[in-house]
């Protein structure tokens, strides 16, 4: 599992923590991150679907309203802060040789945020998740230039 | 080919009803129309011209002519010829400034003729002095004898348009297997209609030089369905000379006896004859003896008359029979004593009432959605700046360079909005304005007057166009229709531009109507 953070091969601080301890730490963080990603994606997609299916187009100007369900993707930040905090605290218990805790925690938090946000985004773009009437709204930024009248 | 000849004010309003049916995709593939009315300037005639112009504009804008069953699909033949004004042909057997004595050339009638017969005395035997001196600028004013005499001169005009064109086309059609089918519609209690039907049928019957069995002639005889108070007119002299609704019953009886006489004596040129009326006699609110002020509101009898005409064109029953429509005895105790008219009460031999209802409701839903949602959306410049917000618009139009908000397409959408607001919704509103509230075809609360003189269909009642559907008034149905458009974008016929818009709108309206009105009806939770 420690291979998940493949770029963090050596502990920071040039050998002040035993390599085996470092790898155990990474494996533990990988497991927790994986659970955090799965839970995070599940919660985000659930809330997104509920929000999107409740959204209605009742008058023609509703078409131009901000697509609020997209905001649920920002919940990925909870994973960033949550995982980051947990990684920092757990790293700090590794002893006086555990230097660079902030940077280690930051990397793990970014990894969690990245996968949570990416997987959530890909899932909400799938047919059946976003209502057909809002098909292009999750990735509007990529299609906003299509079909525009010059 | 089908030909509809409409006589007088009632005939004009029946043609108006038929145009609405054609707009909804219920008309025949092709239809030739002609109006006979000495009072061509009457309010109903002006309204009909405006409706026809708007229908043709929509048909052209949306390239709709030809695809059977689609909106505005019926192609109209207006008997146009080179050198003549375009548009609806309204023919009159008399000149505008003529008096009746001039029509029969009274002044030149010989005093003594064969057997010493004084022709002028013969004229006096048939017509009163008032009738002889009657100006014919606003029609025959409820004197069918005057009109019949004028129509008897029809053969003098057979080499002039529109009759020469009509005759030429009928002769060409009877040489084809499909033949030619003529329907004459008018009232038999007024002036023009009662005067026209038989002489015209006789004239048309004589047109084919061969294959006369391929020519069928139908007639729609409308008996009294409205009444008015002549004393309500401001001009007493005008009221004095006008038709009087107290004479209608007598005139109808005379007509019925006349046609019975024709049948008994084998002088029967009709393959089918439809008799239609309404004993409730709706009061006409504003009386006028003729001219631009005479504009009677639309009535359900004219709606049923249009059904009869379309029925005839679809089926062309040839038993030379008369068909009558009357109230149906209902098995429902609550409806037994009611004279209410529901969709399944509509008499028809070929037009399935369920299909008629489905189409009309679909057309209403399409119109409501277009006027209340889609047209304003397309008018907003943001639509063409961010078409991704409307998936069907991006997929079917914008991504291909079609922009409904362009200067080329917006006028077409406006024409469609005008058709609905100024004509179709108004027509329905008048039909539903029955004083006794008998007409239960469409929910009258769904249509109301707009500030600009038109009529608006309440978009929040999209699923509530049928009466008696509590709980169906909701803005969420707009969302449902919008979703139907997204889903239909992949299945509706792939047509570009404004025609593609109308095609998508029609397809979505059908989907919406089938789900909202007919799935529920099948489960017995409402709707008829």
Q: How many CB pairs under 8 A join A and B?
A: 78
| Nearest by CB: B398 against A59, A60, A147 | A147
Residue A78 DSSP SS3: helix
What pLDDT shows up at residue B98?
75
d(CA A127, CA B109): 87
Give the model confidence (pLDDT) of B452-494 as tens digits.
889 999 999 999 998 866 666 889 999 999 999 999 998 888 8
Closest CA to B44 of B17, B25, B71, B70: B17
Closest CA to B501 of B360, B366, B386: B366
Q: At what angle do helices B497-513 and B410-418 cross, to 10 degrees?
A: 40
**Residue B527 φ/ψ region, left for φ over 0, alpha for ψ in the -120 to 50 degree band, beta for the rest:** left
- The residue of chain A nearest to residue B460, with distances taken between CA atoms, is A58
Q: CB-based contacts of B434: which residues, under 8 Å, 6+ apart?
A: B280, B282, B300
For residues A58-82, average pLDDT: 95
Give the model confidence (pLDDT) of B239-251 as tens digits.
555 566 777 888 8
B385–chain A nearest CA distance, Å: 5
What does the block give as tokens for B160? 């002039």
What pLDDT shows up at residue B87?
87
Please judge whether B394 and A149 are an interchain contact, meaning their C-beta atoms are less than 8 angstroms apart. no
A150–chain B nearest CA distance, Å: 8
- B433 part of contact set with chain A, CB < 8 Å: no
| Nearest by CB: B388 against A57, A58, A144 | A144
What does the block give as tokens for B496? 């570009």
A59–chain B nearest CA distance, Å: 7
d(CA B158, CA B166): 9
| Nearest by CB: A146 against B388, B482, B486 | B388
Residues of chain B with pLDDT under 70: 40-41, 66, 111-117, 137-139, 141, 229-244, 285-294, 317-318, 326-338, 468-472, 520-528
Q: At what angle do helices B497-513 and B353-369 cross, to 10 degrees?
A: 120
Task: Tell me which chain A residues have a C-beta less than 8 angstroms from the C-beta of B390.
Answer: 63
The 3-state secondary structure of B161-193 reads CCHHHHHHHHHHHHCCCCCEEEEEEEECCCCHH
Please judge whether A136 and B482 are an interchain contact, meaning their C-beta atoms are less than 8 angstroms apart. no
What pLDDT shows up at residue B367?
97
Contact (CB, 8 A) for B384 and B403: yes
Give the model confidence (pLDDT) of B62-113 as tens digits.
987 767 789 999 999 999 877 777 889 888 887 777 777 777 777 777 766 5
A140–chain B nearest CA distance, Å: 7
Closest CA to B353 of B278, B438, B229, B441: B441
Assembly ipTM: 0.89
Q: What is the DSSP letter of B99?
A: B
What pLDDT shows up at residue B521?
40
Please tell me the total number of residues recorded for chain A in this structure. Answer: 150
pTM score of the predicted model: 0.89
Contact (CB, 8 A) for B201 and B148: no
What does the block give as tokens for B152? 């008897």
Contact (CB, 8 A) for B212 and B174: yes
């Amino acid at each position: 599992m420690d291979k998940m953070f493949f770029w963090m091969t050596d502990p920071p601080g040039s050998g002040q923590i035993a390599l085996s301890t470092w790898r155990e730490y990474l494996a533990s963080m990988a497991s927790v991150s994986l659970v955090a990603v799965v839970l995070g994606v599940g919660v985000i997609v659930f809330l997104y679907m509920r929000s999107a299916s409740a959204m209605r187009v009742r008058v023609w100007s509703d078409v131009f309203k901000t697509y609020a369900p997209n905001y649920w993707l920002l919940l990925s930040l909870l994973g960033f802060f949550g995982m980051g905090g947990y990684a920092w605290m757990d790293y700090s218990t590794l002893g006086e040789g555990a230097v660079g805790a902030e940077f280690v925690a930051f990397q793990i938090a970014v990894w969690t945020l990245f996968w949570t946000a990416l997987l959530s985004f890909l899932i909400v773009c799938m047919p059946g998740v976003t209502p057909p009437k809002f098909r292009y709204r999750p990735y509007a930024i990529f299609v906003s230039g299509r079909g525009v009248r010059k | 080919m089908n030909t509809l000849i409409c006589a007088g004010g009632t005939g004009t309003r029946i043609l108006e009803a038929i145009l609405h049916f054609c707009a909804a995709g219920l008309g025949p593939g092709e239809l030739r129309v002609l109006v006979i009315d000495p009072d061509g300037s009457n309010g109903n005639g002006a309204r009909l011209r405006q409706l026809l112009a708007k229908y043709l504009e929509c048909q052209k804008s949306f390239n709709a002519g030809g695809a059977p069953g689609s909106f505005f699909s019926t192609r109209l033949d207006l008997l146009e010829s080179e050198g003549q004004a375009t548009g609806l042909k309204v023919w009159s057997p008399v000149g505008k400034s003529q008096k009746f004595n001039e029509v029969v050339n009274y002044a030149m009638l010989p005093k003594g003729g064969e057997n010493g017969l004084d022709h002028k005395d013969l004229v006096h035997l048939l017509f009163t002095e008032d009738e002889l001196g009657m100006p014919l600028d606003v029609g025959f004013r409820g004197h069918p004898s005057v009109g019949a005499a004028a129509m008897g001169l029809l053969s003098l005009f057979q080499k002039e348009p529109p009759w020469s064109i009509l005759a030429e086309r009928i002769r060409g059609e009877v040489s084809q297997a499909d033949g030619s089918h003529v329907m004459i519609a008018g009232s038999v209690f007024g002036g023009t209609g009662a005067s026209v039907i038989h002489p015209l049928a006789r004239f048309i019957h004589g047109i084919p030089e061969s294959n006369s069995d391929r020519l069928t002639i139908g007639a729609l005889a409308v008996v009294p369905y409205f009444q008015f108070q002549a004393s309500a007119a401001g001009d007493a002299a005008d009221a004095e000379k006008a038709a009087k609704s107290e004479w209608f019953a007598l005139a109808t009886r005379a007509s019925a006896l006349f046609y019975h006489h024709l049948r008994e004596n084998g002088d029967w040129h009709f393959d089918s004859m439809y008799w239609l009326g309404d004993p409730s006699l709706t009061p006409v609110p504003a009386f006028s003896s003729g001219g631009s002020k005479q504009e009677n509101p639309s009535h359900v009898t004219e709606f049923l008359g249009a059904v009869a005409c379309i029925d005839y064109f679809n089926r062309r029953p040839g038993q030379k029979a008369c068909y009558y429509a009357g109230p149906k005895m209902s098995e429902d105790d609550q409806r037994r004593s009611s004279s209410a008219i529901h969709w399944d009460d509509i008499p028809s031999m070929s037009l399935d009432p369920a299909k008629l209802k489905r189409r009309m409701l679909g057309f209403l839903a399409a119109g409501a959605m277009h006027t209340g949602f889609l047209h304003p959306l397309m008018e907003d410049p943001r639509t063409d700046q961010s078409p991704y917000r409307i998936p069907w618009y991006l997929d079917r139009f914008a991504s291909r360079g079609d922009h409904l908000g362009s200067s080329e397409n917006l006028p077409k959408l406006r024409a469609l909005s005008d058709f609905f607001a100024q004509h179709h919704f108004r027509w329905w509103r008048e039909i539903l304005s029955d004083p006794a509230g008998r007409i239960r075809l469409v929910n009258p609360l769904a249509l109301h007057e707009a500030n600009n003189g038109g009529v608006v269909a309440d978009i929040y009642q999209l699923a509530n166009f049928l009466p008696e559907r509590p709980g169906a008034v909701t803005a969420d149905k707009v969302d449902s229709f919008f979703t139907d458009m997204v889903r239909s974008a992949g299945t509706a016929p792939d047509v570009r531009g404004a025609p593609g818009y109308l095609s998508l709108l029609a397809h979505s309206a059908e989907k919406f109507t089938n789900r909202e009105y007919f799935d529920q009806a099948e489960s017995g939770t409402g709707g008829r």
